[in-house]
Chain A
Amino acid sequence: GAVVSQHPSWVICKSGTSVKIECRSLDFQATTMFWYRQFPKQSLMLMATSNEGSKATYEQGVEKDKFLINHASLTLSTLTVTSAHPEDSSFYICSAQRGRGPGFFGPGTRLTVL
């Protein structure tokens, strides 16, 4: 159990376009989903926390108008990178948590903006 999927696995896009990344908990209902970003050789940095049906809470320094998060249901959260630029190129990972248990990570999405 506790499987989390992300789609797509990798995406290459042109500067100025928007990219949507989906995170799904496949076999459990996630009360909370977290979005992280990881740059090469660095640790995971939390971007935002989202609870189903409410607005996401963004970490300091993360632009909420640029990184749109929609937590539509207990099994699906989406992160949309709007007007992506090369500096947004990174590895984006979601984590889904049920109750007070540990978060389970999706396999991540590699975003490359040309």
Chain B
Amino acid sequence: EDKVVQSPLSLVVHEGDTVTLNCSYEVTNFRSLLWYKQEKKAPTFLFMLTSSGIEKKSGRLSSILDKKELFSILNITATQTGDSAVYLCAVELNYGGSQGNLIFGKGTKLSVKP
């Protein structure tokens, strides 16, 4: 059974801290791994990773994929209260060359205290 596991499930930090969110996966036909941020409504896209070892960076957020060990991390440096959200990791599957679908982890709820 394909699965995506995120850890920790919940995390509380203070502003200025650096956090690392983990995502491991076991799937039969991997295409890509995606990170989303979900606040009150629908998730917003952060990163899409397809190759191992290449760090993707956007401001204080960065992410990297390890396809050998089947995991990805999402780093947030100098956290701010606005970073408080649920961070979702999803793996896109490759179905015989057609568009795949996403399998989501349960998410990591990050709370940043002032």
- Where the two chains meet, the residues of A that have a C-beta atom closer than 8 Å to any C-beta of B are 31-32, 34, 42-46, 49, 51, 93, 95, 97, 100-108
Contact of A43 with B107 in the complex, beta carbons under 8 Å:
yes
A107 to B88, CA, bound (A): 16
Q: 14 more A-B contacts (CB under 8 A) besides A49-B101, A102-B45?
A: A34-B101, A34-B102, A42-B106, A44-B43, A44-B88, A44-B90, A44-B102, A45-B104, A46-B102, A105-B42, A105-B43, A105-B44, A107-B42, A108-B42
> Would you call B11 an interface residue if the criterion is a C-beta within 8 Å of the partner chain's C-beta atoms?
no
What B residues does A43 contact at CB under 8 A? 88, 104-107
Q: What are 9 pairs between A and B in contact, CB < 8 Å?
A: A31-B99, A44-B104, A51-B99, A93-B42, A100-B99, A103-B34, A105-B36, A105-B42, A105-B43
Contact with A along B83-101 (1 / 0, CB 8 A): 0000010100000001101
- Where the two chains meet, the residues of B that have a C-beta atom closer than 8 Å to any C-beta of A are 31-32, 34, 36, 41-45, 48, 88, 90, 98-99, 101-107
A94 nearest in chain B by CB position: B42
A44 to B34, CA, bound (A): 14
A102-B48 CB under 8 A given contacts A32-B99, A44-B88, A49-B101: yes
What A residues does B34 contact at CB under 8 A? 102-103
Distance between B51 CB and nearest chain A CB, rounded to angstroms: 14
A8 to B26, CA, bound (A): 36
A103 to B48, CA, bound (A): 10
A32 to B41, CA, bound (A): 21
A95-B102 CB under 8 A given contacts A102-B45, A105-B43: yes
